[in-house]
Amino acid sequence: MRVNVLAFGIARDIFGGPSLQVEINANTVAGLKTSLETSYPKLKALASYLVAVNNEYAADEYVLDTRDEVAIIPPVSGG
């Protein structure tokens, strides 16, 4: 299954651009994370990051569809 992923913050730097197409074996958020972390090991180094699907945070067991808008949201700090 192929999914388009939007990247924000440090994730954009890790992926080398604002978006990418990812081929995943398991059609869940957990499967997507595994694929991304295998292809982009620096992503694992982040303390935490969230995955949003169709503008809502998604749990690891969420089942993805090729039409979903998927975004990687890295941790943010500020004051």
pLDDT above 70 covers a percentage of the chain that reads 96
Residue 65: pLDDT band (50, 70, 90) is very high
Ordered by start, the domain boundaries in the chain are 2-73
CATH superfamily, with its number, for domain 2-73 = Beta-grasp domain (3.10.20.30)
Go through the chain and tell me how many residues it has.
79
Mean of pLDDT values over 17-29: 93
The answer to whether 22 and 48 are in contact (CB under 8 A) is: no
Mean of pLDDT values over 53-79: 91
Please say if the pLDDT value at position 62 is more than 70.
Answer: yes
pTM: 0.89
Q: What would the DSSP string read from start to end of 13-43? A: HHHTSSEEEEE-SS-BHHHHHHHHHHH-GGG
